[in-house]
A and B are shown apart, each in its own frame.
Chain A
């Protein structure tokens, strides 16, 4: 029996434990420990993926206890893919953030790395667990560590943004917990597979309906779907850079994963789309989220804030796509989890590099940045193209599936929203490019010839990671057909 599913979660947990102890003695040693723990987790996740792709889903019984008594970790192709994504991004971000962390939270680097590891423990746990209550506890571990990390950020507003996040996060998690309670009343089981096997007999039950609505509502709040997104922009833009660029790509995406998992594994398509008639309403919510996110992003003056509103917009894509009720839409939504995590990561990496040099990233501060930080801006442009949906990058392919799904389901409003939001994103990013490309007015405009601006790049480690992620954007785009065939299609059939 291989132990990869456990190692993915345990390695960061033990890492956090040892890093916490060494932080008392000497702050410097926490970084290598964190790096090693995440490296091991990443290797184990890749091992998981290889096994799942060759020999089918893994059922891992924690400590050998079988499901009704014990907690089961069930890894199928979807989990395995998201696990590789989570641990990979966490590892790369740790490599890239060393200098940022030293610059921003120099007095508590030890605490930063410990909380960072615990955050990864929560995320990997949410992704791999097959138990409904376990999912709640791991969501709360993730949230608790992100509350503390966000409070480490901006001196003026960090604590307040974090406190608002706590209030809304607690409401979301509590709704989910309540839903699990209703499921337990009706089925007497907390194991996802068990509940799924009892689901067809309970399609008419109003208790199950209440459970379904509460669970999904809780997950919606945690992933910041439009009307309940208010916590996200402040929390993510005031967090320290090293944390913002892991929480922004991963937290919301993992919650979307949790929603997809609830839909596929626990309640089942048959119940959601044939018995209930909620799907159309949720697609409308997704449509509104896409448009509202785009419009609110247009009004932002700060680059970080603008990107956080783009996340709100992307959440709309995934929720709308998942609820379209056909395979194409769900394929698009799952593919977009992968793509959006990579795109957002690349964008926030670039912004992190800018913050390292410029300190403030209001859009008007970015003048002449193409000359000053050409490599960072190169990565930023590629990631922006991917968000807009320019063909060879990965953003195009998931949008393609989503639009096809929308047409098949007859949800033309959703397709229209997708196209309009792509245009809005194009406008947004070209606004930024325009400011960055032209020289500052004070240095004699129209005089492009002289190279007065010295090149001031971010540390090599950050740039190298940005390069890797940008290459992966194109590679994932080119191989998206293979990903759909090997990972997503077998899962949905």
Chain B
């Protein structure tokens, strides 16, 4: 049991992203309201962004900006990779955030369109309206 807890504590960032992801997935599958589903979708995507951000992190490391005393002197200082957080996953996530925002925007616009047509965003009611046609 203590082993298991230690395992969770040691890799808590992974457990956190899994829990968040499952919350998002649950909302996307189980919720009846389309907006709630969208919120679930956003949580799902955010979980993955958190995962990426956490894999770039190192203990006792600083931001990946070279800190020299003067502009030109900085280039001569040896760069130790261990001292800096890996910026690449963070940069990738900038793009992924843009993608997720764009998806969310398109989905919201579609919700507006659906609401204008059917006056409802509850999925069961929508299904009823569609079967009437």
Show the binding face of A for B, using Cβ within 8 Å: 133, 136-137, 140, 143-144, 147-148, 151, 155-157, 159-160, 162-163, 166-167, 170-171, 173-174, 177-178, 181, 184-185
Are B92 and A163 in touch, CB under 8 angstroms?
Answer: no
B117 touches A178 (CB 8 A): no
Q: Which residue of A lies closest to B133 (CB)?
A: A156
- Residues of chain B within 8 A (CB-CB) of A166 are 41, 103, 106-107, 110
**A160, B55: Cβ atoms under 8 Å?**
no
How many angstroms from the CA of A293 to the CA of B8 in the assembled complex?
A: 43
Chain A interface helix/strand/loop/mixed: helix
Give which listed residue, B45, B48, B111, contacts A163 with CB less than 8 A. B111
Interface residues, chain B, CB within 8 Å of chain A? 25, 28, 34, 37, 41, 44-45, 48, 51-52, 55, 88-89, 92, 95-96, 99-100, 102-103, 106-107, 110-111, 113-114, 117, 126, 130, 133
| Cβ B103 vs Cβ A144 within 8 A | yes
Q: How far is the CA of A133 from the CA of B92 in the complex (A)?
A: 8
B48 touches A160 (CB 8 A): no
**In contact, A170 and B117 (Cβ under 8 angstroms):** no
CA distance A156 to B114 in the complex (A): 9
Evaluate contact between B45 and A160: CB separation under 8 angstroms: no
Residues of chain B with a CB closer than 8 A to A167's CB: 28, 37, 41
Q: List 29 A-B contacts (CB under 8 A).
A: A133-B95, A136-B96, A137-B95, A140-B99, A144-B99, A147-B106, A147-B107, A151-B113, A155-B117, A156-B117, A156-B130, A159-B114, A159-B117, A160-B130, A163-B107, A163-B110, A167-B28, A167-B37, A170-B44, A170-B45, A171-B25, A171-B28, A171-B44, A173-B99, A174-B48, A181-B52, A181-B89, A184-B55, A185-B55
**Distance in Å from the Cβ of B38 to the closest Cβ of chain A?**
9
Measured CA separation A167–B44 after assembly (Å) = 11
Inter-chain contact B110/A162, CB cutoff 8 Å:
yes
Knowing A137-B95, A157-B130, A167-B28, the reply to whether A144 touches B106 (Cβ < 8 A) is: yes
Q: Which residues of B contact A170 (CB under 8 A)?
A: 41, 44-45, 100, 103
A163 to B115, CA, bound (A): 12
Are B114's CB and A163's CB within 8 A?
Answer: yes
A172, B100: Cα distance in complex, Å = 13
